[in-house]
C-alpha cells in the first residue's frame, strides 16, 4: 500500500497549478463531475490545465491481465502529462492505478523511473484539497443527509479521512454511518461484467445497508462505484441520488452564494 499522507508539493505562497485528468468515465458520462472539480479547484485559486490528448489511466487492461495493452495506455498518459505539475484525478481508483498499479506492471520496464515520478505527483481529488492545499473545512451550505461510500482504492491512503473531514465540515450536511461500510460495492471494473451475479449481489447488499440509513444522497470519490450502485438501484426500480464529493462541494459553494 502506498504512503497514507504526503506533504504538499507547493512552496508557501506559490500559486498551485495542476494538470487535470478527467478520467474516461467523466469524459464519457459524468461531465458535471469534471466541471465541479474544475469549479472547486478554481475557487481555491488553483490553476487548472487540461491536456487535450488525455484518454484513460490504463486500468481496464491492467485489471484484465493484459499488461502490454495497459502499458501502452500508461505510456500515452506519461507523454500527455509531461512536466512536474501534480496530476489530479476525481477518482480514487484511477489515482491508485497511476500511483500503485502502474508500478507493478512496469517493474521490469526500462521506463519505470518515469512511471515512478508520475506516481509521486498523482493525487486523488479530496486528498489533494486537504493534504496538498491545506484546506481542512468547507464553506457554503449543503442541506442533506449523506451516506459516504469510501471507495476501496482509497484504503490506506489519505483520501478517506480527507473526504470525511470536508463533508463533515459543511454547514447543513450530515454524514450518517451504515452497515458494513468497509465492504466493496461490487464494481471492480471488468469484474462487474465477468461476474455479473456476484457483482450485483454485492451491490444490492451495499444498497440495502445504505437505504437502511435513509440518506438523501449517496456520495463517493469515485464515479465507477456510483455508476454501479446508481445503475443497480435504477434497474431495480428504486433509484437513489448519487453525487461525487466535488459536486457536493461545488453545490455547497453555490448554495452559499460563493460561486459566480
Partner 1 sequence: MAKQLIDQAAATLPADKRVSVYQSTKATHEKRTKLLFDQFNDPDLLRQRAGEIKQHVIENLDTLLPAVEAKLKANGAQVHWASTGEAACEAVLRIMQAHGAKKMVKAKTMVSEEIELAHYLEKHGIEALETDLGEFIVQIDKDHPSHIVRPIIHKNRREIATSFEREGLGAYNDDPETITRRARQFLRHKYLEADVGLTGANFVSVESGRIVLVTNEGNSRFSLAAPKVHIALVGIEKLVPRDRDLGVLLNLLARSATAQQLTVYTEFISGPKGATQPDGPEEMHVIFVDNGRTEVLASDCREILRCIRCGACLNVCPVYRQASGHAYRSVYPGPVGAVLSPLLAGKKFPELADLPKASSLCGACNEVCPVNIPIPDLLLRLREKGKREGAPLASVGTPPMGAWALMASQPTAWKAALFGGKALNYLPTKLIPVPALRAWEEKRALPAWRGGEFRKWMKQRRKS
Smallest gap, in angstroms, from Cβ of residue 91 to partner 1?
14
55 versus 137: smaller Cβ distance to partner 1? 55
Smallest gap, in angstroms, from Cβ of residue 169 to partner 1?
26
Smallest gap, in angstroms, from Cβ of residue 134 to partner 1?
26
With 0-12 / 13-18 / 19 or more C-beta atoms within 10 angstroms meaning exposed / middle / buried, residue 192 is: buried
102 versus 249: smaller Cβ distance to partner 1? 102
194 versus 212: smaller Cβ distance to partner 1? 194
Select from 257, 256, 251 the least CA-distant residue to 40: 251
Q: Beginning with the edge strand found earlier in the chain, give each strand of the sheet holding 87-89 in spatial order.
A: 47-49, 17-20, 87-89, 122-124
Q: Would you state the cell numbers that stand for residue 66, as one nine-digit string?
A: 493484459
Smallest gap, in angstroms, from Cβ of residue 232 to partner 1?
5
Number of H helices and number of E strands within the chain? Answer: 13, 8
Select from 139, 130, 213, 221 the least CA-distant residue to 173: 139
50 versus 137: smaller Cβ distance to partner 1? 50
Amino acid at each position: 500500500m502506498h504512503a497514507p499522507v504526503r506533504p504538499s508539493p507547493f512552496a508557501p505562497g506559490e500559486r498551485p497549478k495542476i494538470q487535470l485528468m478527467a478520467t474516461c468515465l467523466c469524459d464519457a458520462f459524468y461531465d458535471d463531475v469534471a466541471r465541479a472539480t474544475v469549479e472547486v479547484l478554481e475557487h481555491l485559486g488553483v490553476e487548472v490545465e487540461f491536456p487535450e490528448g488525455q484518454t484513460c489511466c490504463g486500468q481496464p487492461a491492467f485489471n484484465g491481465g493484459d499488461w502490454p495493452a495497459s502499458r501502452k495506455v500508461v505510456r500515452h498518459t506519461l507523454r500527455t502529462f509531461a512536466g512536474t505539475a501534480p496530476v489530479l484525478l476525481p477518482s480514487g481508483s484511477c489515482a491508485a492505478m497511476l500511483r500503485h498499479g502502474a508500478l507493478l506492471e512496469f517493474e521490469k520496464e526500462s521506463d519505470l523511473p518515469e512511471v515512478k515520478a508520475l506516481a509521486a505527483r498523482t493525487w486523488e481529488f479530496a486528498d489533494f484539497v486537504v493534504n496538498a492545499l491545506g484546506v481542512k473545512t468547507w464553506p457554503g451550505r449543503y442541506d442533506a443527509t449523506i451516506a459516504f461510500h469510501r471507495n476501496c482504492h482509497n484504503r490506506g491512503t489519505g483520501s478517506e479521512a480527507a473526504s470525511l473531514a470536508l463533508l463533515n465540515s459543511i454547514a447543513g450536511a450530515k454524514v450518517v454511518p451504515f452497515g458494513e461500510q468497509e465492504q466493496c460495492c461490487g464494481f471492480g471494473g471488468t469484474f462487474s461484467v465477468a461476474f455479473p451475479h456476484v457483482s450485483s449481489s454485492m451491490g444490492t447488499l451495499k444498497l440495502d445497508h445504505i437505504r437502511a440509513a435513509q440518506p438523501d444522497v449517496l456520495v463517493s470519490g469515485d464515479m465507477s462505484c456510483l455508476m454501479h450502485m446508481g445503475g443497480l438501484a435504477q434497474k431495480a426500480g428504486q433509484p437513489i441520488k448519487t453525487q461525487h464529493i466535488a459536486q457536493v462541494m461545488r453545490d455547497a459553494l453555490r448554495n452559499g452564494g460563493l460561486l459566480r
